[in-house]
Structure 1
Amino acid sequence: MKKWWLSLLIGCLLVGCSQKQEPTVELNVSAASSLQEAMQEIAADFMELYPNVKVQLNFGGSNVLKTQIVEGFDVDLFLSANFKQYDELVQLGKIEAGSLFATNRVVIVTNNHQVQSVYDLAKPNLQVVLANESVPIGQYAASIIDSIDENEPGFKAAIDQNIVSREENVRQVLMKITLNEGDAAFVYQTDLTPDVNDQVTVVYLPNEYDVISEYYMGIIKQNEVKKEAEQLYDYILSDAGQEVLKSYGYE
């Protein structure tokens, strides 16, 4: 009889303890493809600090992610590879709070020894891979090409002849080069992770055409903004979050 009551008491205590545990909160984070490794590490660190939070990461082109938010996808935090897509959400009243949180640099990657500078992209029969111009890296590449064309007439026309594909995001662009399905492409310096460094050569842009890309982050307006979304937002801006970003080449 005593054992039965003891078992019941222990059971009640266990139920009571479990009821005091905080329920798991899911945070849906949509981030630009170029942020993949950095955000995976930041999310892991954040979840160690907040065990009751599960961070779900969705990576893609910033334009695609922005469209998903406009269409009503459940997103708590948006991290864009440029200001444009972030600002479009601001103008639509979709951003509760936002900030610049990192900068990046545009470089050229190549697997072809003929490519020693950006001007070599105009060489006949060279295979150039670009991202769609709706994607930030595609917009930066177009801006660089247009700027060079102003000083070197015919440059843009020559590159247009060399384009073999346009991809949906920067990771797909880089993959084309690592798989030898193209000779050269514009990517971010942070895309040069250890697993691809041995497969490509990096070519830096001349100072006059150097492009610094700005990354913006915004908390998405919901019926009720989760405090955990605000905590992750603050964590990314904190010294700890910024150190992780710097370790992946962000400035």
Structure 2
Amino acid sequence: MKRIFFLTTAFLLLSFGLFAQSIKVAAAANLQAVIKVLQADFKKKTGIEIEPIVGSSGNLVNQIKNGAPYDVFLSADMTFPETLYKDGFSTKKPVVYAWGSLIICSNQDIGFENWERILLTHRVKKIAIANPAIAPYGKAADEVLQKKDILVNIKSKIVTGESISQVNTYITTGVVDVGFTTQALVKDPTNKTKLYWQIIAPDSYSPIEQGIVLLKRAETNKEAEKFYQYILSPAAKAIFLEYGYRVK
């Protein structure tokens, strides 16, 4: 009887291991640090594990359209989630979970009181911006530079990152002199690089409305629904605030 009991238990444990799956969450690159905190807090509250897949919003959308098995998409804007909704990848309209904050940043103390002028000087040789076509923070930076009427003059200095996380690497390692990135970088306690930065006036670019959408493949997944609701909860909003995002 003991042998039967142990065999049955082993079979059940094996079966659970085979069929239990974590929630796959496609997360925009600007969430690279905060998603880890959200992941830990959600697991602490529910016991449910999520598996974050971090990348530029545009690339993640392309992966979803090509069959990537993601359950939830946390974008850096609303345009990409709305596109997925319109194309039938979700039957639930996306909603805003946070508003992003664009900053100019460097690991050098070059002074940002008049950053527009500094970018035009010989002191700044390389400027990192995420690819505007696939990264909303890159799009916001491009918009700012056009509005300031200096984009053409600094075009040769621009180093394009595939995502905002790549831009962050360029900034922290000194590959570039300055970069346009998310405020979450300087709010991240795990970042040990001393950084100098300044917030870009919010009225100089379109609001960075970051949207979440529950994807069609997860519509009957109660655990994915729980994570979706968690991101919109006061607990998650408090974490976003700590990392420099605005919430309502």
With the shorter chain as reference, the TM-score category is 0.7 to 0.9
Moved more, 72-81 or 88-97: 88-97
Equivalent position of 2:102 in the other structure:
106
Q: Distance in 1 between matches of 2:46 and 2:161?
A: 37
| Unaligned ranges ≥5, structure 1 | 150-154
Task: Decide whether aligned partners of structure 1 residues 224 and 204 sit closer, same or farther in structure 2, where only a CA change above 3 A counts.
Answer: closer
- Give the Å deviation of 1:212: 3.8
The amino acid that maps onto 2:154 is I
Equivalent position of 2:164 in the other structure:
170
C-alpha contact 1:102 1:214 (8 A) present in aligned 2: yes
- Give the Å deviation of 1:224: 5.3
Task: Decide whether aligned partners of structure 1 residues 14 and 246 sit closer, same or farther in structure 2, where only a CA change above 3 A counts.
Answer: same
Within the alignment, does 1:230 sit opposite 2:225 as a pair?
yes
Equivalent position of 1:216 in the other structure:
211
TM-score of the aligned structures, taking structure 1 as reference length: 0.84
- Candidates 38, 46, 49, aligned match of 1:50: 46
The amino acid that maps onto 1:217 is I
Q: Distance in 1 between matches of 2:20 and 2:151?
A: 52
| Unaligned ranges ≥5, structure 2 | none
TM-score of the aligned structures, taking structure 2 as reference length: 0.85
Task: Deviation per CA, 1:3-41: give whole Å up to 9, x if none.
Answer: xx5x3686589579969x896232111001111222222
Task: Decide whether aligned partners of structure 1 residues 180 and 16 sit closer, same or farther in structure 2, where only a CA change above 3 A counts.
Answer: closer
Q: Distance in 1 between matches of 2:218 and 2:27?
A: 22
Where 1:93 maps in the other structure, the secondary structure is coil
- Give the Å deviation of 1:160: 0.7
Equivalent position of 1:69 in the other structure:
64
C-alpha contact 1:96 1:218 (8 A) present in aligned 2: no
Of Structure 1 and Structure 2, the greater strand share is in 1
Equivalent position of 2:178 in the other structure:
184
Aligned residues: 239
C-alpha contact 1:125 1:162 (8 A) present in aligned 2: no
Where 1:216 maps in the other structure, the secondary structure is strand
- Give the Å deviation of 1:46: 2.0
Task: Deviation per CA, 1:137-184: give whole Å up to 9, x if none.
Answer: 1101111111111xxxxx222111322x21111111111121111111
- Give the Å deviation of 1:113: 3.6
Task: Deviation per CA, 1:110-147: give whole Å up to 9, x if none.
Answer: 23444423312122362211111121111011111111
Structure 1 segment 112-131 matched on structure 2, within 5 A: 112-116=108-112, 117-119=114-116, 120-124=118-122, 126=124, 127-131=126-130
The amino acid that maps onto 2:76 is A
Structure 1 segment 58-97 matched on structure 2, within 5 A: 58-97=53-92
- Give the Å deviation of 1:234: 0.5
Q: Distance in 1 between matches of 2:36 and 2:129?
A: 26
C-alpha contact 1:124 1:162 (8 A) present in aligned 2: no
Equivalent position of 2:28 in the other structure:
32
Q: Distance in 1 between matches of 2:164 and 2:3?
A: 59
Q: Distance in 1 between matches of 2:202 and 2:210?
A: 21
Moved more, 121-130 or 175-184: 121-130
Equivalent position of 1:148 in the other structure:
148
% identical aligned pairs: 24
Equivalent position of 1:157 in the other structure:
152
